[in-house]
Amino acid sequence: MSELVVIFRTPSEIEANVIKGLLETHGIMSMISSDMSRTAFPISLNDQVWGLRVAVQEQDAAEAQRIIESHRDDVEGGRVVPFGSELEPLERSVGYRFRDRGLLEHALTHRSRVHEDASGGVFDNESMEFLGDSVLGFAIADLLFREFPQHNEGQKSKLKASLVSSASLARLGEQLDLGSFLILGRGEEKTGGRRKHAIIADCYEALIAAIYLDGGIEPARAFIERQFASLIEEARRTGAAAVFTEDWKSALQEWLQSHGRGLPVYRIIEEIGPPHRRTFVIEVQVEGDPIARAEGRSKKEAAQAAAKAALEVLSSG
């Protein structure tokens, strides 16, 4: 058996897998290796993040190089996939510079892109959403513990649920313009995926995971504290009472009754995602007219968000 020859190096796991898939579609078997094994914890040596190597059999090296060269994009640096510099505006908005930008690429990759990729070398961000959700929950719980020592467990739990709701995460994601950087499949792109709150909220969680994996808990915590600072300040200013007593469905019903209007009707318009991560879109109708719609990770959350949106529309009209 001949020796393996390294024909490509990259800090990006996604790019390494794209190269591997590209070579295998041309009948060349390859192997991805690194100086260390990836774990759930970021690892660096002298502040330099380890890279990934793609190697092939010695007799295939020349042909593999030719295939890679033939697929390079005509851009500065000659990357096979144009990942990299175009993500710098997002890094500036986030306030964190990735050492392994492949983690950021992974966080931005929606499952629709994976379904349409023939190489098999692209992975979606669902596992990163799971990790990001846990990191976010921990950081917010720690923040509330320190900022609201006077409130009991039930009050802190309600405030935490409000802060990490999908509607809240989608708004924060929109402020970062996450939708512009999403890596989507063609079908999702055509149906307005860049504007879908559920996709943006999930990507926001994956982004938190990417920061954590790249730099550890402190950069992730710092990002979360910056992002949620205004919301925490609002809760502190009002004593968090508004968050604890919010019942937008009751508030909408009371407003309608006081204005001689009929009771609201809530309709499920759409259910998005797999059963274990379902997102519901609910529309509020008043006297047969659609007033507003919103989404959430439960029917209750979506209905409350829709009621709040409807109340804002009606009270400003």
Q: What is the dihedral of CA 207, 212, 213, 215, to 10 degrees?
A: 120
Which has more pLDDT, 78 or 269? 269
Query: For tokens 């380890």, what's the residue?
Result: 50
Alpha-carbon distance of 156 to 163, in angstroms, equals 10
The packing angle between helices 166-175 and 217-237, to 10°, is 110
CA-wise closest residue to 161 among 181, 183, 141: 141
Q: What is the dihedral of CA 187, 191, 193, 197, to 10 degrees?
A: -150
CATH for 126-242 is 1.10.1520.10
Query: So what's the pLDDT on residue 215?
Result: 92
Residue among 100, 133, 188, 295 flagged as catalytic: 133
SS3 64: helix
- Say which range, 44-58, 110-124, 134-148, has the weakest mean pLDDT: 44-58
Tell me the pLDDT tens digit for each residue of 57-71. Answer: 888 888 888 888 776
**Known catalytic residue at 126:** no
What per-residue string of b and e applies to 87-115 under the rule 16 or more CB within 10 Å gives b? beebeeebebebebbbbbbbbbbbbbbbe
Residue among 205, 214, 283, 295 flagged as catalytic: 205
Residue 175 burial (CB count, 10 A): 10
Most confident region among 58-72, 178-192, 213-227 by mean pLDDT:
213-227
Tell me the pLDDT tens digit for each residue of 17-39. Answer: 778 878 887 889 888 886 444 44
Q: What is the largest CA-CA distance in the chain?
A: 84
Percentage of the chain surpassing pLDDT 90? 37
Query: So what's the pLDDT on residue 118?
Result: 61
Phi, psi of 42 (to 5 degrees): -65, 135
Question: How far are the Cα atoms of 54, 60, 122 from residue 7, in angstroms, in the given order?
Answer: 6, 10, 20
Pick the CATH number of 248-316 from 1.10.10.60, 3.20.20.80, 3.40.50.300, 3.30.160.20: 3.30.160.20
Q: Break the chain into its structural domains and give their ranges.
A: 1-82, 126-242, 248-316
pLDDT at 237 over 80: no
Query: For tokens 């393996």, what's the residue?
Result: 4
**Known catalytic residue at 133:** yes
Tell me the pLDDT tens digit for each residue of 185-194. Answer: 888 888 888 9
Pick the CATH number of 1-82 from 2.10.25.10, 2.102.10.10, 3.30.70.790, 3.20.20.110: 3.30.70.790
